[in-house]
Structure formats: C-alpha cells, structure tokens
Amino acid sequence: MVQIFYDRRVGDYMFGCNTGVGAPVMYNYINQYNSSISPSTNHCKNTQLFWYFQRYLLQKAISVMKWEVPDNWDKDYFLYCLYCWGTVAIVNTDKFGVIPQGCTLKGYNVFYRPAQAVINNPLLKGVIEPVIGEQCVLFKCTADFGGIMDLVGRYANEMAIAMESLDMNVMNSKLAYVFRARNKAGAESLKKVMDQVMRGELAVFYDEKLRIQRGDQTEEPWDYFVNNLRQNYIAGDVLDTLRRLEELFCTEIGIPSARSDKKERMISSEAESNDVETSTRMEMWLDGWKKSCADVKKMFGVEVSVNWRHNPNEIVSRGKSGGDDD
C-alpha cells in the first residue's frame, strides 16, 4: 500500500511520504490516480525537479503583489494559506486578537456561496465556525475559492520534463569516440595514443608493426565510432522551451515579459494584446483582495492593503515612451 491523499484546494495528489499525513489506500485508489495522468506511467510530479520548480514558481507568483499586514500577523503564513489553500479567514480571538487563520468552508447562502468558515487550531478553544461577513472576513485567492497550486503544478511539471531532457542531452553529448581494438597490443597502443593526445602533444606516433596486413591491404589496429554531436545537441532548443514556459507562467500571474519566440520586434497591436493578457486575471484577483481588505478595516478596524509590486501597465507605458514599434 502507498500513502496518498487528495486535497481539493491544492488541486493535486500528494504522497504521504513527503507530507507525513494521509491514509493507506488500496489498488483501486492508486489506479484512479494513475488514470488521471496521461501517459499513466509518467509521474514527473514525484521528482525533486518538480518540487524545485513548484517552489520557484510559487514564490514568483507570491512576489507579484506587495502586501501590508499588521505586525502581529505571520505574513508568510497568511500568504501561503491564501495562495496554496485558497482561503483565509480573519477572525477576532480572545487570546491572539485579530489574526488570519487557514480554514475550510461549510454551508451556503442564497447565492450558493459558503456561509461559514471552519477553523481548527489546537491553540484556540475547539473548532471555530464563524459566519462569513458577520463574524469573520474571508480572503479567497480566486473567485472559485481555490488556490493557484494547479496552475503552479502544471508549469512545474512541464519545466521538470524539459529539464530532464536537457540533462539527458548534455550527458549524451559527452560521447565523442568509441574505439575497438583488434588485439590486446592495439588496445594498449591506443590507450597510450589517447593519453598523449589528452596531454596536448604536438604529434603522436605509434609502431607501424601494429598494422594488420590482409593480402594487398593494410588495416589499422583499431576501428572507431564517431557520434555526430552537433546534429544531436538540442540543449539550446530545450533552454528556449524552458524560457518560453516561464514566460507563459508569468503572463498568467501578471508579470510582463517579452516573448522569446518572436524573432523580430512585436508590432504595437501584438504588444498591446499581450499587455491585456498579462494583467487581466491578476486584476480580477486583486479586486477581490482589495474588497476583503476594506471589509477587514470595516469589521475590525485593522489595516491590511495589497497592490502591485510593479504594475505591469506602468512598466509597459514606460517602455512605450522610450520608443514606438513599427
């Protein structure tokens, strides 16, 4: 049996060996997990490369916005709960005052939106179930109450696959020559020849007696295999793919970037279209976060603010003022 669990808010399956939690499951559950991957044998999400890119991309996404929170809040806890889990409730506690708490949701209102937050913290007394909008303020990462780990995981997976291809291609490029000696003497002579070549000798000599005479023809005491390294070397293309994947991710989280797949400068209409694509989704998230900040101020009198760290629209405007594209 394998320890595995699924978290709907993170949007991905996680193995218990990495998290320390989860319940043992049988073959039918493992088979269900495998069927969600195509091809089913490609489990790149359980590699160190995937975890590396996942952490890298998540930190990059969190850095897009600049948050100002009260001094008694753990800012990292607040942000990681918001971006990874998707929801954070701001509640007033007897012992710790107004603080953020990761939560689940229950119930629904007339619009089929969650009615209550469910907070289970051993340092608080029992399970707290405050009513959203009356006893707590709910920060949600996206409109559907989800986090961004599905987005981060998708690009981390693709970048991990590309990096594996890069490593394999670079390793294969180390194969230059493979020699086959016709006899032991030829092998020993070949070793000495290669030693002299590697030392940078200006000229290398070997005994002509090692040659093999077959009738009227004389053969060298070895054969060699030459691999066309330049033809098989695609590391540059893989690096371009990695860069393009990161650019696509940046576009989704509101970071403007020049497209590396464009060989010439983009025309103005293309640049403007990319600008809109870059900021649209994050602007929608930002509107929701600002409303929650205002609700926290209204309900608890606590100042919380969020805004662009580097506004992509201002960056683009400065770029255009420096010169217009044709």
Confidence of residue 321 (pLDDT cuts 50, 70, 90): low
Instruction: Examine residue 22 and state whether it is found in any structural domain, yes or no.
Output: yes
Instruction: Examine residue 194 and state whether it is found in any structural domain, yes or no.
Output: yes
Q: Which of 207, 174, 179 is nearest to 194 (CA)?
A: 179
Lowest model confidence (mean pLDDT) among 74-88, 193-207, 218-232: 218-232
Q: What pLDDT is attached to residue 217? A: 77
Confidence of residue 3 (pLDDT cuts 50, 70, 90): very low
- Domain tally for the chain? 2
Position with higher pLDDT, 49 vs 174 = 49
Q: What pLDDT is attached to residue 55? A: 95
Q: What pLDDT is attached to residue 6? A: 36
Instruction: Examine residue 212 and state whether it is found in any structural domain, yes or no.
Output: yes
- Whether the CA torsion 155, 243, 307, 101 is positive or negative: it is positive
Instruction: Examine residue 7 and state whether it is found in any structural domain, yes or no.
Output: yes
Q: What pLDDT is attached to residue 68? A: 97
Instruction: Examine residue 286 and state whether it is found in any structural domain, yes or no.
Output: no
Say whether 4 sits in a helix, a strand or coil: strand
Q: Cα(240)–Cα(192) distance, rounded to whole angstroms?
A: 41
Percent share of the chain, pLDDT over 70: 72
Mean pLDDT of the chain: 80
Instruction: Examine residue 301 and state whether it is found in any structural domain, yes or no.
Output: no
Instruction: Examine residue 185 and state whether it is found in any structural domain, yes or no.
Output: yes
Q: What pLDDT is attached to residue 114? A: 95
How many Cα atoms sit within 13 Å of 286 on the Cβ side? 19
What's the full length of the chain, in residues?
326
Position with higher pLDDT, 226 vs 144 = 144
| Cis peptide bond prior to 221, omega within 30° of 0 | no
Burial class (CB in 10 A: 0-12, 13-18, 19+), 29: middle
Q: What pLDDT is attached to residue 240? A: 95
Confidence of residue 225 (pLDDT cuts 50, 70, 90): low
Q: What pLDDT is attached to residue 13? A: 37
Q: Is residue 219's pLDDT more than 70?
A: yes
Q: What pLDDT is attached to residue 326? A: 45
Q: Tokens for 128, please give them.
A: 């707290």
How far is CA 53 from each of CA 18, 159, 246, rounded to the nearest angstrom? 16, 7, 10
Range of the domain at 13: 2-42
Instruction: Examine residue 199 and state whether it is found in any structural domain, yes or no.
Output: yes
Q: Cα(155)–Cα(120) distance, rounded to whole angstroms?
A: 32
DSSP states of 248-269:
HHHHHHT-----TT-SSPPPHH
